[in-house]
């Protein structure tokens, strides 16, 4: 039952073959087997949101998912958000307005918000606070994260071809 | 304004250096740097609050494939010494604890045995296979039962559970009571909190058998003190231990002590001769890392009819939990020392009891004195309520004004360079109290509950060595730094602090840059490595800016002096008078103007390192300067918080309509970082006041071991915080720095309670405990309804 199984995982545009026990969490496989340590683990029970990644483009908790469930799905992690060395508009805005402190919650927040802005280019503050309510941040009080999301959304809209 | 004007690097809102790596997912938190294949550690934890350990059978666990070993308190006792805390403080009992419990467990979650295994999954399986025979003992789950005669003793080496008791009196309280129009008693119950850093505790210990050297990678606020603890308890010299702190995902006071788990991991690495990694899970973090607060205060204010407080008595009882990782008087003492804060109260007494119970041990949590401002300003509000006076007027009549400073508090602490009266007026005018009162009157007519709170905070920020000595708390408040200008002119610096998210790398570089005369971009500050950083006291309280920034600033100034002495030689001048370094260039004063000399820092560095025979007399080669600095006994920041709330009486929900802070935290090194600290502190204060609670049932079972039970505020529950900067420099610290980052919590806890009680006033009920949960608010509203029915019937 716990004998390792071999599976292939499509992560950030590359396919990786891993051999892991069926009970191994996706968060652990990403971090330990694939070396993608940008996905953080804050609770392992689905509350804090630090482990948020995109599964087929939708935000999901990597700590509530087994890696063996992920064959045939397309995974995106924080490591694939920047454009090469260039920070994404959201990353840039978080930097400029001091939307992060210890940075432990930050990758999860970036994944949640990045997916949302794709479909909701002009969110208001209430909507943003609602969106962020699935991600805990113990450091910032969220105020500057909200500010960064507003700024990033404006930047993305400005960049979009008219 | 005038504060910032004379600086060129201090005061700039530079975005933080560490951001880039965090944003890219390239931070290096502990788990990110553990090499593959390192064995994992997992602890078995007690299911009982209080029980004798009769026997531990680890046969089945040891037999599990992948298990390297199972160890108990008895094993650890062979390789480590116990922690003994016996500071010579009157009324404080000495205590001692072993590395892991041997004879009995003292709280639900106490570590009982430890497994080392190939991976975490196997280690957890093995933990489940360990059989422990317990003999449950009666438990004490609150201070009242712990203090009852004949109560079970948490620590059987003590006569009872009262581990610390101190009292103090200044002036003549009996006389003040006799003179008073009224004596008003008020109760404040602050519940048990825990820190919840988003990254839990963890460490990786690596014993190098060949060199006989331990490398401990651990997220810590205090690398050097931790090294001393580790070395001492493992019987090693400090030269045999290196502590390295990688990036840390928050700490808030939870990462100061050397915990038993960490010491066990280090000892086992040495015993097994292999590196070991431990990461606690969230349940362990919530149950067994460290708790905080759970303090009950009762004040008795002897007042005149106009609200002037003639005398104030404080009774404080803290529920300290089962183990002392700090002297038990440590947090409570500070509350009692600084309680009167912004007010002129000469006749003051306190009685402070710290009690052991069968709960996780307490430690300092961001603003260990969090309750202080609630107790003080809540007392003033009670006075106003009872006497039918205006709450602002009651504050004014008791407030210390500029003319009273420096002011020696009844406890002997000296307040200087504070502006609490000014921030009170700043907040009062920004919130427009008269407009609010008009709105409130209309709302009350409609049966709505609307309230306004005020809370003035005098925040003790930087504790100098003299404070510790005077307060009877063991410790030192000094800090150490070095600044090195490398041959290329690059600037490296180091200090004994360790950041855990604050963003030290940028503001501390600004402090060095200001002192030296270069731009902040050219300075790199190295922290968190005991072989690199000088021995300092680390990060605790709000000492980062004054002790850390101040020491670096002074050290950099000393470095500038040497640079200029060398420059003088190169310019064939007799001495360095009339020279300065600006932006890395040596300038010379000619008449009223600073003129370039053509010399840059690199030229000076080249001479210092590569051509020392050409240096002026008595100037030694190299540019490597170090310095230690002990701040004044105490520095204070101050602020006034104001907040407007509406309570939904049917659901008990508190809606924060407006929140502002008028703050004076001295010279601000980096306004962006300071603003982040203000937001974060207010958020943590409100989260604690409204939601958080460690819950134990009467048998000592912890019922709040997930983040679905221990509730931390999310983005939807917190307000936007308006900040009114009213900074004035401290005249006795380097660059006028005061420090900050904890006062926001003190203010938030006080102001929200005061606002809620203002809203509840028409109902004739008062909230006296936290959290101000919907359930509690509903209970108060029901109580009011019942009171009304009763009066209606009568
Ligand atoms: S680690 Fe997955 S939600 Fe917290
Ligand atoms: S920045 Fe520390 S938890 Fe969000």
What percent of chain A stands above pLDDT 90?
A: 94
* Ligand 1 lined by A70 (C-beta under 6 Å): no
* Ligand 1 lined by A44 (C-beta under 6 Å): yes
pLDDT value at A114 more than 50: yes
pLDDT band at A85 (very low <50, low <70, confident <90, very high): confident
> What pLDDT is recorded for position B793?
65
> What pLDDT is recorded for position A160?
85
H/E stretch holding B142: none
> What pLDDT is recorded for position B467?
85
Domain ranges for chain B: 4-26+478-629, 33-137+198-250+255-289, 291-465+633-793
> What pLDDT is recorded for position B2?
41
> What pLDDT is recorded for position B794?
57
A135 C-alpha to ligand 2 centroid (Å)? 10
Q: Across residues B374-391, what is the average pLDDT?
A: 98
B651 C-alpha to ligand 1 centroid (Å)? 30
* Ligand 2 lined by B499 (C-beta under 6 Å): no
> What pLDDT is recorded for position B541?
81
> What pLDDT is recorded for position B6?
85
pLDDT value at B4 more than 60: no
* Ligand 1 lined by A51 (C-beta under 6 Å): yes
d(CA B589, CA B682): 46
> What pLDDT is recorded for position B475?
77
CATH class, range B33-137+198-250+255-289: alpha beta
B60 touches chain A (CB under 8 A): no
Instruction: Write out pLDDT tens, residues B514-526.
Output: 999 999 999 999 9
Rounded to 10 deg, the angle between the B550-570 and B601-610 helix axes is 80
SS3 call for B788: helix
pLDDT value at B669 more than 90: yes
* Average pLDDT of the residues of chain B: 96
Instruction: Write out pLDDT tens, residues B432-453.
Output: 999 999 999 999 999 999 999 9
Whether B197 contacts B499, CB under 8 Å: no
d(CA B418, CA B423): 10
pLDDT band at B319 (very low <50, low <70, confident <90, very high): very high
Cβ-Cβ contacts under 8 Å for B1 (sequence gap 6 or more): none
User: Does the ipTM exceed 0.90?
Assistant: yes
Instruction: Write out pLDDT tens, residues A32-78.
Output: 999 999 999 999 999 999 999 999 999 999 999 999 999 999 999 99
What is the CATH architecture of B4-26+478-629? 2-Layer Sandwich (3.30)
SS3 call for A71: coil
A23 touches chain B (CB under 8 A): yes
Give the range among B280-284, B441-445, B542-546 with minimum mean pLDDT. Answer: B542-546
Rounded to 10 deg, the angle between the B372-387 and B743-760 helix axes is 20
Give the range among A44-58, B114-128, B540-554 with minimum mean pLDDT. Answer: B540-554
Cβ-Cβ contacts under 8 Å for B585 (sequence gap 6 or more): B596, B597, B599, B600, B601
Q: Across residues A107-133, what is the average pLDDT?
A: 98
Fold assignment, B291-465+633-793 = Aldehyde Oxidoreductase; domain 4 (3.30.365)
How many contiguous H segments (helices) and E segments (strands) does chain A have? 5, 5
Q: Report residue B410: phi and psi, to 5°.
A: -55, -30
Q: Return the structure tokens found at B156.
A: 């059987």
Whether B400 contacts B407, CB under 8 Å: yes
Cis bond before residue B771 (omega within 30° of 0):
yes
Contact B707 A94 (CB under 8 A): no
pLDDT band at B1 (very low <50, low <70, confident <90, very high): very low
Instruction: Write out pLDDT tens, residues A91-104.
Output: 999 999 999 999 99
Instruction: Write out pLDDT tens, residues B719-754.
Output: 999 999 999 999 999 999 999 999 999 999 999 999
Instruction: Write out pLDDT tens, residues B601-641.
Output: 999 999 999 999 999 999 999 999 999 999 999 999 999 99
* Ligand 1 lined by A74 (C-beta under 6 Å): no
What residues of chain B, 668 to 687, have a C-beta less than 8 Å from chain A?
A: 672-673, 675-676, 679-684
Nearest CB to A42: which of B25, B199, B720? B199
Whether B188 contacts B297, CB under 8 Å: yes
B725 C-alpha to ligand 1 centroid (Å)? 37
Whether B674 contacts B664, CB under 8 Å: no
> What pLDDT is recorded for position B3?
43
Give the range among B206-215, B224-233, B541-550 with minimum mean pLDDT. Answer: B541-550
**CA distance to partner chain B, nearest, from residue A103 (Å):** 5
What percent of chain B stands above pLDDT 90?
A: 94
b/e per residue B400-429 (b: at least 16 CB within 10 A): beeeeeebebbbebebebbbbbbbbbbbbe
| Domains of chain A and CATH, by start | 5-79 (3.10.20.30), 89-159 (1.10.150.120)
pTM as predicted: 0.97
Q: Across residues B505-511, what is the average pLDDT?
A: 97
B7 touches chain A (CB under 8 A): no
Instruction: Write out pLDDT tens, residues A2-16.
Output: 799 999 999 999 999
Whether B391 contacts B380, CB under 8 Å: yes
Instruction: Write out pLDDT tens, residues B216-236.
Output: 999 999 999 999 999 999 999
Ligand number nearest to the C-alpha of B502 = 2
Instruction: Write out pLDDT tens, residues B400-415.
Output: 999 999 999 999 999 9
Burial class (CB in 10 A: 0-12, 13-18, 19+), B490: middle
What residues of chain B, 204 to 223, have a C-beta less than 8 Å from chain A?
A: none
């Amino acid at each position: 039952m716990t004998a390792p199984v071999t599976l292939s995982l499509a992560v950030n545009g590359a396919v990786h073959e891993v051999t892991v026990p069926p009970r191994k969490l996706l968060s652990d496989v990403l971090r330990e087997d694939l070396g993608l340590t940008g996905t953080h683990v804050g609770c392992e029970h689905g509350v804090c949101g630090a482990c948020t990644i995109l599964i087929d483009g939708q935000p999901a908790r990597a700590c509530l998912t087994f890696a063996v469930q992920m064959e045939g799905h397309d995974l995106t992690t924080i490591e694939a958000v920047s454009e090469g060395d260039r920070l994404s508009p959201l990353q840039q805005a978080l930097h400029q307005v001091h939307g992060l402190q210890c940075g432990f919650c930050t990758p999860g927040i970036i994944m949640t918000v990045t997916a949302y802005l794709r479909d909701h280019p002009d969110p208001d503050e209430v909507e943003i606070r609602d969106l962020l309510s699935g991600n805990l941040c113990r450091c910032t009080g969220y105020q500057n994260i909200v500010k960064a999301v507003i700024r990033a959304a404006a930047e993305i809209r400005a960049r979009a071809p008219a | 304004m005038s504060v910032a004007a004379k600086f060129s690097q201090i005061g700039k809102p530079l975005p933080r250096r560490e951001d880039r790596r965090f944003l890219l997912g390239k931070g290096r938190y502990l788990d990110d740097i553990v090499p593959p294949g390192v064995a994992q550690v997992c602890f078995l934890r007690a299911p009982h609050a209080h029980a004798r350990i009769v026997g531990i059978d680890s046969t089945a666990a040891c037999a599990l494939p992948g298990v390297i070993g199972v160890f108990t308190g008895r094993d650890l006792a062979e390789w480590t010494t116990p922690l003994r805390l016996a500071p010579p403080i009157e009324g404080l009992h000495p205590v001692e604890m072993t590395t892991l419990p041997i004879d009995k467990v003292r709280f639900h979650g106490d570590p009982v045995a430890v497994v080392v295994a190939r991976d975490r999954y196997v280690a957890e399986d093995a933990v489940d296979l360990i059989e422990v025979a317990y003999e449950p003992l009666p438990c004490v789950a609150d201070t009242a039962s712990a203090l009852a005669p004949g109560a079970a003793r948490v620590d059987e080496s003590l006569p009872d559970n009262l581990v610390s008791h101190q009292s103090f009196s200044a002036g003549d309280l009996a006389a003040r009571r006799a003179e008073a129009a009224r004596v008003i008693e008020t109760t404040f119950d602050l519940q048990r909190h825990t820190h919840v850093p988003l990254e839990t505790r963890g460490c990786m210990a690596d014993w190098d058998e060949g060199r006989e050297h331990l490398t401990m990678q651990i997220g810590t606020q205090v690398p050097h003190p931790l090294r001393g603890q580790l070395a001492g308890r493992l019987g090693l010299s400090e030269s045999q231990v290196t502590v390295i702190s990688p990036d840390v995902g928050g700490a808030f006071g939870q990462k100061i002590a050397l915990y038993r788990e960490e010491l066990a991991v280090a000892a086992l690495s040495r015993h097994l001769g292999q590196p070991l990694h431990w990461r606690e899970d969230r349940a362990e973090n919530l149950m067994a890392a460290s708790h905080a607060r759970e303090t009950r205060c009762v004040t008795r204010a002897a007042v005149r009819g106009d609200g002037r407080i003639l005398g104030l008595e404080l009774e404080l009882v803290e529920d300290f939990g089962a183990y002392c990782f700090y002297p038990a008087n440590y947090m409570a003492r500070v509350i009692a020392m600084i309680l009167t804060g912004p007010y002129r109260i000469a006749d003051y007494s306190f009685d402070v009891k710290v009690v052991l119970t069968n709960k996780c041990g307490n430690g300092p949590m961001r603003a260990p004195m969090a309750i202080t401002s609630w107790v003080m300003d809540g007392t003033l509000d009670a006075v106003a309520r009872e006497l039918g006076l205006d709450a602002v007027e009651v504050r004014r009549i008791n407030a210390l004004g500029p003319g009273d400073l420096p002011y020696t508090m009844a406890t002997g602490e000296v307040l200087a360079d504070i502006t609490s009266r000014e921030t009170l007026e700043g907040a009062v005018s920004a919130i427009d109290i008269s407009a609010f009162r008009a709105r409130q009157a209309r709302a009350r007519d409609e049966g709505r509950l609307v309230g306004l709170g005020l809370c003035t905070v005098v925040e003790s920020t930087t504790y100098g060595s003299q404070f510790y000595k005077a307060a009877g708390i063991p410790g030192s408040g000094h800090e150490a730094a070095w600044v090195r200008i490398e041959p290329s002119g690059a600037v490296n610096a180091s200090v004994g602090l360790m950041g855990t998210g604050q963003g030290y790398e940028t503001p501390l570089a600004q402090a060095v840059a200001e002192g030296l005369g270069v731009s902040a971009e050219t300075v790199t500050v190295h922290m968190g490595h005991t072989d690199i950083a000088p021995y300092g006291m680390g990060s605790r309280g709000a000492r980062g800016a004054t002790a850390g920034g101040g020491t670096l600033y002074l050290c950099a100034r000393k470095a500038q002096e040497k640079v200029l002495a060398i420059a003088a030689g190169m310019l064939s001048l007799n001495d360095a008078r009339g020279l300065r370094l600006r932006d890395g260039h040596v300038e010379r004063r000619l008449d009223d103007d600073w003129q370039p000399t053509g010399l840059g820092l690199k030229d000076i560095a080249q001479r210092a390192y590569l051509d020392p025979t050409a240096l002026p007399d008595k100037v030694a080669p190299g540019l490597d300067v170090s310095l230690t600095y002990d701040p004044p006994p105490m520095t204070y920041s101050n602020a006034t918080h104001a907040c407007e709330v509406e309570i939904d009486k049917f659901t008990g929900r508190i809606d924060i309509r407006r929140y502002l802070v008028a703050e004076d935290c001295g010279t601000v090194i980096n306004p962006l970082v300071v603003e982040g600290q203000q937001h974060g502190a207010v958020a943590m204060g409100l989260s604690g006041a409204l939601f958080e609670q460690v819950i134990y049932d009467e048998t000592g079972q912890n019922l709040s071991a997930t983040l679905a039970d221990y509730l931390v505020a999310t983005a939807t529950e917190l307000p936007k915080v308006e900040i009114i900067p009213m900074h004035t420099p401290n005249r006795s610290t380097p660059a006028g720095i005061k420090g900050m980052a904890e006062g926001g919590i003190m203010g938030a806890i006080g102001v929200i309670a005061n606002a809620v009680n203002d809203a509840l006033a028409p109902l004739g009920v008062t909230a006296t405990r936290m959290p101000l949960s919907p359930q509690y608010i509903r209970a108060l509203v029901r109580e009011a309804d019942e009171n009304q029915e009763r009066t209606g019937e009568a």
